[in-house]
């Protein structure tokens, strides 16, 4: 018997206030985003997606806050491990691009059974990929830290943290992928609730396992990895309960997990480009870490703090880009390409305004903000420099995110993959090396390379967006 959607709520009226629209966005109702007024549709999707991304950023900030009390070597190992974890994130998020696009397209076509079958195949693919990656990388944790340039003291402190994070990557994979399914289906509130629930556990358990509070073991920096994996793992169980229950717009059943080569092929085609897109992006960050490692653990620790702060605001900004991507997928499925383009422009305006305000805040208050995470004067100085330099490019980061979100939401994952290669590998890494080593700027040269490369990415993304070929993509 085919799956059926619950009846969608009527589109919010044009005279609804901003506050009332925000309230509706958090209620978890099913809306028809192919007919709702666009400004309302963007807000209905964006508010829970922004909150979801804020929750995700809290994982990173909570870990680095507590770990910072263990010294610069502990902070450095978190940064090095996260730079490797970013490769896993790249594979997971690359699959998320395809997942959101495929599910959203089926929703726009009013094909609930096809959307549910796609969701089942997405989860199967994610679980298989996570198991393979975890088995390989988890056993190589100390070697990976050594290859990344960590000294013996850093490896001694952090090998356990790295092993747990890499070996337990399935919690990252599945929580990302199932939330992408929720977003594509137009259920962003479920994704938001998942991250909220997982975060509460991580924040509560982090200091317990790190410092051995009460009956908990004293595991130091490895305790942060344990808390993170327990939080995310419990979040995955919550997601599966939602998918199999009656709360999700999709009605996933066991039959939808029967392997289907055709559907897997439909998912994998855009997923490969999406994975390549994120691998190019994240390996460029690894390259920057390798350059910074030449200047010692203080440079690594300062940059790690600054990067976590920047990511904490980029994650909610991705929420706005994801709202545009969902609207692109659903409206292309409903044969409304002009509406898809207009939704991206609305999300872009919101995003540039948001990150422009945040960027100014970081530039003005860089030193006191970084000072909340470390008392080491050298780490604080370098972290503040990294923060305000990178923050200068945040408005263009915002525009680039929305353009890439449009391409990915349409299933055109190839265009942003090529743009990432040109702007990040052919601009960011060489510029960082030249400024840091050839020009003698040291770590500051690496910091400057970041806004330079992402400015180039935003400008080139805008050119391809205006050409409009992404609107013809078939999936």
DSSP characters over 32-66:
-TTTS-HHHHHHHHHHHHHHHHHHHHHHHHHHHHH
Whole-angstrom Cα distance, residue 168 to residue 5? 34
Is the pLDDT reported for residue 3 higher than 50? no
- CB contact set of 160 (below 8 Å; sequence gap of 6+): 141, 219, 220, 221, 222, 225
pLDDT of residue 8: 53
**Quick one: 422 exposed, middle or buried, by C-beta within 10 A (0-12, 13-18, 19+)?**
middle
The number of beta carbons lying within 10 Å of the beta carbon of residue 254 is: 8
Residue 8 lies in a domain: no
Query: Which of 35, 102, 139, 49 has the alpha carbon at shortest distance from 347?
Result: 49
Percent of the chain predicted with pLDDT > 90: 39
pLDDT tens-digit series, residues 22-78: 777 777 677 788 888 888 888 888 888 888 877 776 766 777 788 878 887 887 888
Whole-angstrom Cα distance, residue 15 to residue 12? 8
Average pLDDT taken over every residue of the chain: 86
Domain count along the chain: 1
Query: Which of 235, 379, 399 has the alpha carbon at shortest distance from 308?
Result: 379
Residue 418 lies in a domain: yes
Residue 194 lies in a domain: yes
CA-CA distances (angstroms) from residue 117 to 239, 256, 339?
16, 5, 27
Alpha helix locations (H) across 294-376? 297-333, 337-364, 366-371
Give strand pairing partners of 9: 31
Query: Which of 169, 174, 88, 89 has the alpha carbon at shortest distance from 123?
Result: 174
Sign for the pseudo-dihedral over CA of 94, 95, 101, 104: negative
Residue 9 lies in a domain: no
Are 286 and 86 spatial neighbours (Cβ–Cβ below 8 Å)?
yes
Whole-angstrom Cα distance, residue 290 to residue 308? 17
Query: Which of 130, 232, 250 has the alpha carbon at shortest distance from 190?
Result: 250
Residue with the two structure tokens 């080569």: 261
Residue 155 lies in a domain: yes
3-7, 74-78, 272-276, 449-453: which range is least confident on average? 3-7
CA atoms within 13 A on the CB side of 334: 19
Q: What is the domain extent for residue 78?
A: 37-472
- 413 Rama class: left (phi>0) / alpha (psi -120 to 50) / beta: alpha
Residue 376 lies in a domain: yes
Sign for the pseudo-dihedral over CA of 74, 78, 84, 85: positive
Whole-angstrom Cα distance, residue 416 to residue 413? 6
Alpha helix locations (H) across 168-215? 170-184, 188-211
Query: Which of 128, 132, 197, 196 has the alpha carbon at shortest distance from 167?
Result: 132
Are 83 and 305 spatial neighbours (Cβ–Cβ below 8 Å)?
no
Query: Which of 117, 233, 261 has the alpha carbon at shortest distance from 181?
Result: 117
Residue 389 lies in a domain: yes
| Helix (H), strand (E) counts: the chain | 18, 0
Please give the structure tokens belonging to residue 163.
């092993």
pLDDT of residue 16: 57
pLDDT of residue 36: 82
Highest mean pLDDT among 9-13, 78-82, 268-272: 268-272
The confidence band for 2, taking pLDDT boundaries of 50, 70 and 90, is very low
Query: Which of 457, 431, 456 has the alpha carbon at shortest distance from 445?
Result: 431
The confidence band for 6, taking pLDDT boundaries of 50, 70 and 90, is low
Distance of CA 322 to the CA centre of its chain: 10
pLDDT of residue 117: 94
Residue 206 lies in a domain: yes
CA-CA distances (angstroms) from residue 203 to 64, 200, 384?
11, 5, 25
pLDDT tens-digit series, residues 353-395: 999 999 999 999 999 989 888 888 888 888 899 999 999 999 9
Query: Which of 295, 263, 103, 285 has the alpha carbon at shortest distance from 190?
Result: 103
pLDDT, average across residues 98-124: 92
């Amino acid at each position: 018997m085919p799956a059926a959607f619950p009846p969608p709520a009527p589109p919010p009226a044009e005279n609804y206030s901003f506050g009332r629209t925000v309230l509706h966005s958090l209620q978890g109702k099913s809306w028809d985003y192919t007919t709702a007024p666009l400004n309302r549709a963007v807000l209905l999707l964006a508010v829970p997606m922004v909150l979801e991304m804020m929750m995700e950023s809290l994982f990173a900030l909570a870990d680095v806050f507590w770990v910072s009390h263990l010294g610069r070597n502990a902070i450095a190992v978190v940064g090095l491990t996260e730079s490797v974890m970013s490769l896993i994130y790249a594979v997971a998020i690359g699959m998320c691009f395809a997942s959101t696009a495929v599910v959203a397209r089926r929703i726009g076509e009013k094909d609930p059974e096809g959307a549910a079958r796609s969701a089942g195949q997405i989860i199967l693919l994610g679980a298989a990929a996570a198991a393979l990656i975890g088995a390989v990388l988890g056993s190589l944790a100390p070697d990976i830290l050594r290859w990344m340039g960590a000294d013996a003291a850093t490896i001694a402190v952090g090998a356990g943290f790295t092993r747990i994070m890499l070996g337990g990557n399935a919690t990252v994979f599945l929580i990302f992928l199932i939330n992408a399914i929720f977003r594509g289906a137009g259920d962003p509130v479920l994704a938001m609730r998942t991250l909220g629930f997982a975060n509460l556990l991580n924040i509560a358990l982090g200091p317990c396992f790190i410092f051995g509070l009460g009956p908990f073991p004293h595991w130091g920096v490895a305790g942060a990895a344990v808390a993170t994996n327990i939080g995310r793992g419990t979040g995955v169980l919550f997601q599966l309960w939602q998918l199999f229950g009656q709360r999700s717009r999709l009605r996933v059943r066991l039959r939808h997990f029967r392997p289907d080569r055709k559907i897997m092929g439909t998912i994998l085609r855009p997923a490969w480009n999406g994975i390549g897109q994120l691998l190019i992006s994240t390996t460029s960050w690894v390259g920057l870490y390798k350059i910074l490692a030449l200047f010692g653990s203080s440079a690594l620790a300062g940059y790690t703090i600054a990067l976590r702060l920047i990511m904490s605001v980029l994650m909610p900004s991705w929420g706005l880009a994801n709202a545009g991507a969902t609207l692109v997928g659903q409206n292309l499925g409903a044969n409304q390409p002009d509406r898809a383009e207009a939704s991206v422009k609305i999300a872009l305006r919101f995003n540039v305004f948001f990150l422009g305000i945040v960027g100014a805040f970081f530039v003005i208050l860089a030193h006191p903000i970084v000072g909340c995470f470390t008392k080491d004067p050298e780490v604080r100085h370098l972290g503040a420099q990294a923060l305000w330099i990178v923050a200068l490019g945040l408005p263009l980061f915002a525009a680039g995110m929305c353009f890439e979100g449009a391409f990915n939401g349409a299933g055109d994952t190839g265009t942003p993959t090529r743009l990432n290669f040109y702007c990040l590998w052919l601009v960011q890494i060489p510029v960082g090396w030249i400024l840091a080593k050839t020009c003698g700027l040291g770590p500051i040269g690496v910091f400057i390379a970041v806004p330079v490369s992402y400015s180039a990415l935003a400008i080139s993304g805008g050119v391809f967006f205006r050409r409009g070929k992404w609107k013809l993509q078939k999936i």
